[in-house]
């Protein structure tokens, strides 16, 4: 808020100062002006379709005869329009400005202060006629006088017709535009002496406009030859809307600046091409249509276009816009498909994570069962060995109890059933022995020792399993 107030105060202060110090073609006061001469192309610096401001050229601080212009410029499609109100300098000598009545007895004034400040109100028109790649051409009329301090001046007496060709080239972050052409009227010759019409009817001009990357690509440097001298200038932005302009007109004669106010030159009139120091202010009014057009132009950037550097003339190629819209719709459809596939993958990932959790639980259970089974196996082997020891010690019933515990721990252990059959055999329980041996053979069909025992039992030729036990039996 404080910055805005400062900008407003600065704007009003400079405007009042310019009016007090009020060459008709003040620098930057015409639409599409480089300095004093026109151009067909300017790089995009974020401006809108309407701009307004003022410019002042200081000729001498000692003599109050500077030039000032307030202007409004607008762009509508391919047309550039401008409206300018200019205060012209008093070109007379200091003696003429300060002269008093020649004869006290008469009221005729030989010279003296002007009763009315010289001024002009004029309009300007410009239109592009050609544009291809980086070459552009414009024609137009400037200085069409609507009203002037001189009632004898007609509408087209000072009108300036011009033709300008512009060529734009980018160098890394710098943007250079070269303008050349010719102009008549005040473009051909614009003397500080507004009553002098002795200048050339037509004059060529040349200008260079360099846009730099500084101040967010909004600062530029200007060099211009207007047919009568060399001008230099620059535009420096304050904000996105406000900018200050500075320059020097007819730099080649800058050492003669303020010559008329020097001592000894009181009778010298203002030279027609006297140098000036210029300062100005411009406000670019943004609008939504310009921003939309800027976005559209970025889509049609020649460097990104498959058509190369071709640019449509006068009108925008609507087919290219539609093509871009189709591409955008295609991208949107593809994004929808990708989003659907991504959601599907998320669901599948969730299901896989769930299955993974189930498998992990099952694996843990299997590992636990293996550990339990291993523990049971170890316990069964220890009991099996104990049963063997008890059998050798002929403690058959104790051995039978131990082997039954082994079968409880490992119900599918065929050797345990074979051992129990042996114990039953020693206890003379042939039936139980045969049942245990059959279970062992069923669990392990390749258990040939059990098969041989069953065949011997069936044929009645079963031999004693332990010779020591059979010897003791014979002795009994």
Band (pLDDT 50/70/90 cuts) for residue 392 is confident
3-state secondary structure the chain: CHHHHHHHHHHHHHHHHHHHCCCCCCCCCCCCECCCCECCCCCCCCCCCEEEEEEEEECCCCCCCCEEEEEEEEEECCEEEEEEEEECCCCCCHHHHHCCCCCCCCCCCCCCCCCCCCEEEEEEEEEEEEEECCEEEEEEEEEEEEEECCCCCCCCCCCEEEEEEEEEEEECCEEEEEEEEEEEHHHHCCCCCCCCCCCCCEEEEEEEEEECCHHHHCCEEEEEECCCCEEEEEEEECCCCEEEEEEEECHHHHHHCCHHHCCCCCCCCCCCCCCEEEEEEEEEECCHHHHHHHHHHHHCCCCCCCCCCCCCCCCCCHHHHHHHHHHHHHHHHHHHHHHHHHHHHHHHHHHHHHHHHHHHHHHHHHHHHHHHHHHHHHHHHHHHHHHHHHHHCCCHHHHHHHHHHHHHHCCCCHHHHHHHHHHHHHCCCHHHHHHHHHHHHHHCCCCHHHHHHHHHHHHCCCCCCCHHHHHHHHHC
- Return the CATH number of the domain spanning residue range 2-313: 2.40.160.40
**Opening angle at CA 89, ends 83 and 92, nearest 5:** 155
- Point out which residues pair with 237 in neighbouring strands: 243
**CB neighbour list of residue 110: distance below 8 Å, 6 or more residues apart:** 99, 101, 102
In terms of DSSP bridges, do strands 67-76 and 135-148 run parallel, antiparallel, or are they unpaired? unpaired
Mean pLDDT for 269-298 is 78
Q: What percent of the chain has pLDDT over 70?
A: 79
Q: What is the rounded CA–CA span in Å between residue 291 and residue 48?
A: 8
Q: Quick: pLDDT tens for 14-59.
A: 333 333 333 567 888 888 888 989 998 888 776 778 899 999 988 8
- Please determine, for residue 129, whether its predicted confidence score (pLDDT) is greater than 60: yes
- φ, ψ of residue 73 to 5 degrees: the values are -120, 145
pLDDT, position 472? 39
User: Which of 112-116, 172-176, 356-360 comes out lowest in average pLDDT?
Assistant: 112-116
pLDDT, position 464? 53
User: Which of 99-113, 204-218, 456-470 comes out lowest in average pLDDT?
Assistant: 99-113
Q: Quick: pLDDT tens for 193-251.
A: 666 555 557 889 999 999 999 988 889 999 999 888 899 999 999 988 899 999 999 99
The tokens describing 458, both together, are: 């069936």
More confident residue, 23 or 115: 115
- Please determine, for residue 455, whether its predicted confidence score (pLDDT) is greater than 90: no
> Cβ(182)–Cβ(163) under 8 Å?
yes
The tokens describing 113, both together, are: 């202060």
Q: Is the pTM of this model over 0.75?
A: no
Q: Write down the CATH superfamily of domain 369-475.
A: Tetratricopeptide repeat domain (1.25.40.10)
In the chain, residues under CATH classification 1.25.40.10 are 369-475
User: Which of 65-79, 155-169, 281-295, 454-468 comes out lowest in average pLDDT?
Assistant: 454-468
**CB neighbour list of residue 348: distance below 8 Å, 6 or more residues apart:** none
More confident residue, 303 or 385: 385
> Cβ(28)–Cβ(55) under 8 Å?
yes
Q: Quick: pLDDT tens for 361-370.
A: 888 888 887 8
Give residue for tokens 């028109």: 125
Q: Across all residues in the chain, what is the average pLDDT?
A: 79
Band (pLDDT 50/70/90 cuts) for residue 83 is very high
Tally the C-alpha atoms within 13 A of residue 309's C-alpha that lie toward its C-beta.
7
In the chain, residues under CATH classification 2.40.160.40 are 2-313
User: Which of 296-300, 356-360, 401-405 comes out lowest in average pLDDT?
Assistant: 296-300
């Amino acid at each position: 808020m404080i910055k805005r107030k400062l900008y407003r105060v600065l704007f009003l202060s400079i405007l009042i100062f310019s009016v007090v110090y009020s060459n008709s073609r003040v620098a930057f006061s015409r639409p599409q002006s480089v300095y004093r001469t026109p151009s067909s192309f300017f790089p995009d610096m974020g401006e809108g379709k309407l701009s307004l401001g003022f410019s002042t050229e200081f000729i001498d601080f000692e003599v109050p005869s500077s030039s000032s212009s307030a202007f409004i410029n607008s762009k509508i499609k391919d047309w550039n329009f401008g409206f300018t109100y200019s205060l012209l300098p008093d070109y007379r000598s200091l003696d003429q400005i300060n002269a008093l009545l020649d004869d006290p007895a008469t009221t005729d004034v030989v010279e003296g202060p002007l009763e009315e400040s010289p001024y002009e109100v004029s309009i300007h028109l410009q239109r592009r006629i050609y544009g291809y790649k980086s070459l552009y051409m414009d024609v137009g009329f400037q200085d069409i006088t609507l009203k002037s301090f001189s009632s004898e001046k007609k509408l087209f007496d000072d009108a300036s017709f011009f033709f300008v060709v512009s060529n734009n080239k980018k160098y890394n972050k710098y943007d250079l535009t070269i303008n050349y052409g010719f102009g008549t009227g005040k473009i051909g010759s614009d003397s500080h002496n507004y009553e002098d019409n002795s200048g050339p009817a037509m004059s060529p001009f040349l200008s260079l406009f360099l846009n730099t990357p500084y101040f967010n690509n909004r600062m530029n440097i200007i060099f211009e030859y207007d047919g009568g001298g060399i001008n230099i200038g620059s535009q420096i932005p304050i904000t996105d809307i406000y900018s200050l302009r500075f320059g020097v007109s007819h730099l080649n004669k800058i050492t003669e600046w303020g010559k008329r106010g020097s001592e000894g030159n009181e009778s010298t009139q203002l030279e027609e091409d006297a140098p000036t120091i210029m300062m100005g202010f411009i406000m670019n009014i943004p609008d939504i249509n310009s921003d939309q057009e800027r976005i559209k132009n970025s889509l049609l950037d020649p460097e990104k276009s498959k058509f190369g550097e071709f640019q449509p003339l006068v009108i925008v190629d609507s087919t290219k816009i539609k093509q871009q819209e189709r591409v955008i719709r295609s991208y949107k459809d593809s994004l929808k498909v990708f989003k659907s596939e991504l959601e599907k993958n998320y669901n599948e990932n969730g299901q896989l994570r769930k299955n993974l959790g189930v498998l992990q639980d099952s694996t843990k259970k299997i590992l636990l069962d293996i550990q339990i089974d291993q523990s049971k196996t170890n316990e069964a082997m220890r009991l099996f060995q104990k049963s063997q020891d008890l059998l050798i010690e002929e403690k058959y019933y104790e051995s039978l109890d131990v082997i039954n515990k082994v079968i409880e721990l490992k119900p599918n252990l065929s050797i345990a059933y074979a051992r129990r059959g042996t114990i039953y055999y020693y206890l003379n329980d042939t039936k139980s022995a045969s049942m245990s041996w059959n279970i062992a053979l069923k669990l392990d069909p390749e258990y040939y020792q059990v098969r041989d025992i069953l065949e011997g039992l069936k044929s009645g030729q079963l031999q004693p399993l332990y010779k020591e036990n059979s010897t003791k039996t014979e002795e009994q």
